[in-house]
């Protein structure tokens, strides 16, 4: 609850700080490369999208509320072993996706919102984790244990840089980090997120 209030307060603060300026909406396509503990629970990268709102301040400063959604590909582990005429087989499927509301601060080195910029931010992210385990023994029905109750919402941070090619198109690289120690056996869910942005 505290984290949700913090995210809402930051968004309202951003809106108030940019009062009188013309906000710009943006849509970002994202390719996510997992790092740290997140890398061990997904088979490969993820993909997603973000909605952004640029609140222009003076001197190349921009506040950017954003909503992100990223889906990571399912990781499947299988194995089997035999003991005499009995064979044991198991399959473990692990899938994860995330949704988050955040606020980024961007600084454009040119002193106006164009060209190269640095970005830092905070975000409240919810990771939905699904773990399905199936096991079978020769001559016996398959047993499936599906655990859907591994979701967790945490506050994290982001650091990165970007470049706006013109008024509408830009690219950005952000490192995001969330500590999910209570959500699973793993904790540091970090990712490198490369995005291409179109602003209206």
- The C-alpha atoms of residue 128 and residue 151 are separated, in whole angstroms, by 4
What's the pLDDT score for residue 20?
A: 52
Supply 97's token pair: 């996706």
The tokens 């890398």 sit on which residue?
39
pTM (predicted TM-score): 0.80
Q: What is the pLDDT of residue 3?
A: 52
The 3-state DSSP class for residue 3 equals: helix
Could you confirm whether domain 2-85+95-128+154-199 is CATH 2.40.160.20? yes
Q: Would you say 159 and 146 are in contact if contact means Cβ atoms under 8 Å apart?
A: no
Picking from 65, 63, 44, 47, the residue whose alpha carbon sits closest to that of residue 55 is: 63
pLDDT for the residue 150: 72
Cα dihedral 155→160→166→170 (10° resolution)? -70
Q: How far apart are CA 27 and CA 168, in angstroms?
A: 10
Which residues in the chain land under pLDDT 50?
2, 183
Write the pLDDT tens digit of every residue in 135-150: 888 877 777 776 656 7
Domain ranges of the chain: 2-85+95-128+154-199
**pLDDT for res 12:** 55
pLDDT for res 2: 46
Residue range 84-125, pLDDT digits in tens? 878 888 888 888 899 999 999 999 999 999 999 999 999 999
């Amino acid at each position: 609850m505290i984290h949700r209030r913090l995210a809402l307060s930051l968004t309202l603060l951003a809106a108030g700080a940019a009062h009188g300026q013309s906000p710009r909406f943006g849509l970002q396509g994202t390719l996510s490369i997992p790092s740290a503990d997140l890398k061990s629970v997904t088979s490969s990268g993820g993909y997603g999208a973000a909605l952004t709102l640029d609140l222009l301040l003076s001197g190349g400063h921009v506040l950017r509320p954003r909503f992100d959604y990223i889906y990571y590909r399912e990781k499947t582990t299988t194995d089997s072993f035999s003991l005499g005429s009995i064979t044991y087989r198991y399959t473990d499927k692990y899938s994860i996706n995330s949704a988050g509301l955040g606020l980024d601060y961007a600084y454009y080195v040119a002193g106006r919102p164009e060209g190269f910029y640095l970005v830092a931010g905070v975000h409240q992210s919810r990771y939905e984790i699904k773990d399905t385990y199936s096991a079978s023994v020769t001559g016996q029905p398959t047993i499936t244990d599906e655990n859907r109750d591994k979701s967790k919402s945490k506050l994290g941070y982001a650091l990165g840089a970007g470049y706006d090619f013109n008024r509408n198109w830009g690219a950005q690289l952000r490192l995001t980090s969330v500590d999910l120690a209570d959500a699973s056996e793993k904790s540091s869910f970090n990712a490198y997120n490369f995005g291409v942005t179109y602003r209206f």
